[in-house]
């Protein structure tokens, strides 16, 4: 998503990633990979639990999830995979963002 970040912003969206890692490890990863969007560190899985993105042994850790949430807090798109490679393509999320009046963030 970092490569297409500008397209999401132009569609009125903001990308926020949620990581279950420590703040130091998240900061290091984001700095090393020059990721332009914010990160919410959630080591206690509060946000993951809120959106029912459970960690499972069969998925070898934290299951991946992708959500598009509009400015009113309505989930417009949700996908939870079993493995990290089961995240939908950016085009799917971008299409949803472009279809929301005024984008995700007003």
CATH number of 2-99: 3.40.30.10
Q: Which tens digit of pLDDT belongs to each residue from 54-70?
A: 665 444 455 667 777 77
Task: Report how far residue 23's alpha carbon sits from residue 45's, in angstroms, rounded to the nearest whole number.
Answer: 13
- Domain spans in the chain, listed from the N-terminal domain onward: 2-99
Which two structure tokens, joined as six digits, stand for 16?
Answer: 């926020």
Reported confidence tier of residue 9, pLDDT bands at 50, 70, 90: confident
Predicted local confidence at residue 24, as pLDDT: 92
Beta strand spans in 1-106 (E) = 17-19, 39-41, 55-56, 61-62, 65-69, 75-80
Check: CB of residue 45 under 8 Å from CB of residue 21.
Answer: no
Report pTM: 0.67
């Amino acid at each position: 998503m970092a490569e297409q970040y500008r397209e999401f912003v132009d569609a009125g969206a903001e990308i926020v990633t949620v990581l279950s890692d420590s703040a130091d490890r998240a900061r290091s990863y984001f700095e090393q990979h020059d990721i332009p969007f914010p990160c919410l560190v959630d080591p206690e899985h509060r946000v993951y639990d809120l959106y029912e993105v459970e960690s499972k042994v069969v998925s070898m850790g934290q299951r991946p999830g992708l959500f598009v949430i509009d400015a009113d807090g309505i989930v417009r798109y949700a996908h939870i995979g079993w493995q990290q490679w089961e995240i939908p393509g950016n085009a799917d999320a971008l299409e949803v963002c472009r279809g929301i009046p005024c984008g995700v963030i007003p």
